[in-house]
């Protein structure tokens, strides 16, 4: 009986957080904010008005204090529209500002040995390989982005998965996988036919939907 109890406790400790029913199929990754922060929030607002309900706030060029300050504004904007906000930052910041979860980049994913947030918060993981998808499963992530599928302006030199490569990898994970790289709204059906849960993008979803 003791061993069964221990197994149950381990399962509880590694279980993924319950997902919102259901996760949105469109996933916005914000571009770098630059120096015009008011314009950044206005463009985010337009994305949310267009229907985006899952946002990853990514701002690698900002210092931690500046990132946190802008993240609070981004969160307020998301709350006005009932959107989920994931921070591409230290997981501790999620609880500090009350965001909905974290997106782990490759370095943070590699460094994680356990689920970095409690149940009730979401964890997204950036993946480019089967090894990374399996690592995301190991830490009980809730979803993953898998990229790059098609040519993308943000990483023009990166080797492409293509739909065949994407489909092969997505079939080997239990996680909901978002296709990333060259995506737009018109590709959602194609992505789903190839095993994606949804599509993620930057410019195609920023400031409203763009089909190119």
Q: For 34, left (φ over 0), alpha (ψ -120 to 50), or beta?
A: left
Q: Is 164 exposed, middle or buried (0-12, 13-18, 19+ CB in 10 A)?
A: exposed
User: Is pLDDT larger for residue 151 or for residue 71?
Assistant: 71
Which pLDDT band holds residue 64 (cuts at 50, 70, 90)? Answer: very high
Percentage of the chain beyond pLDDT 70 is 89
Region 49-72: mean pLDDT is 97
Find, among 96, 86, 132, the residue nearest to 112 by Cα: 132
Q: Rounded distance, CA 168 to CA 129, Å?
A: 10
Statement: residue 73 has pLDDT above 90: yes
Find, among 211, 204, 212, 210, the residue nearest to 27 by Cα: 204
pLDDT tens, residue by residue, 155-188: 777 789 999 999 999 999 999 999 999 999 999 9
Residue 15's pLDDT is what? Answer: 46
DSSP string, 128-160: SSHHHHHHHHHTT-SEEEE--SS--SSSTTSPP
Contacts of 58 (CB under 8 A, 6+ apart): 29, 30, 31, 32, 88, 103
Q: Rounded distance, CA 169 to CA 72, Å?
A: 35
Backbone angles phi, psi at 182, to 5 degrees: 75, 15
Q: Rounded distance, CA 207 to CA 41, Å?
A: 10
Which pLDDT band holds residue 3 (cuts at 50, 70, 90)? Answer: very low
Region 105-134: mean pLDDT is 97
Q: Rounded distance, CA 102 to CA 107, Å?
A: 13
Mean pLDDT of the chain: 90
Residue 158's pLDDT is what? Answer: 78
Full-model pTM = 0.88
Q: Rounded distance, CA 106 to CA 127, Å?
A: 7
- Spatial contact of 59 and 33, defined as CB atoms under 8 Å apart: yes
Dihedral sign, CA of 132, 134, 140, 144? positive
Q: Rounded distance, CA 58 to CA 86, Å?
A: 9
Backbone angles phi, psi at 104, to 5 degrees: -90, 120
Which pLDDT band holds residue 211 (cuts at 50, 70, 90)? Answer: low
Find, among 135, 142, 143, 145, the residue nearest to 182 by Cα: 145
């Amino acid at each position: 009986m003791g061993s069964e109890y221990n197994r149950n406790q381990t399962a509880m400790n590694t279980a993924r957080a319950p997902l919102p029913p259901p996760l949105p199929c469109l996933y916005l990754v914000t571009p770098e904010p630059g120096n015009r922060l008011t314009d950044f929030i206005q463009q985010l607002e337009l994305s949310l008005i267009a229907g985006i309900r899952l946002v990853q706030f990514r701002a690698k060029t900002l210092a931690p204090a500046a990132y946190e300050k802008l993240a609070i504004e981004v969160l307020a904007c998301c709350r006005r529209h009932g959107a989920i906000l994931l921070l591409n930052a230290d997981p501790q910041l999620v609880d500090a500002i009350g965001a909905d979860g974290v997106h782990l980049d490759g370095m943070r994913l590699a460094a994680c040995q356990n689920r970095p947030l409690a149940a009730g918060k979401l964890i997204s993981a950036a993946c480019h390989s089967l090894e990374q998808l399996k690592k995301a499963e190991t830490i009980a992530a809730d979803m993953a982005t898998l990229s790059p599928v098609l040519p993308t302006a943000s990483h023009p030199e990166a080797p492409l998965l293509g739909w065949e490569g994407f489909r092969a990898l997505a079939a080997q994970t239990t996680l909901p996988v978002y296709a990333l790289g060259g995506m737009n709204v018109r590709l959602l059906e194609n992505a789903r036919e190839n095993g994606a849960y949804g599509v993620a993008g930057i410019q195609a979803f920023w400031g409203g939907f763009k089909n190119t």
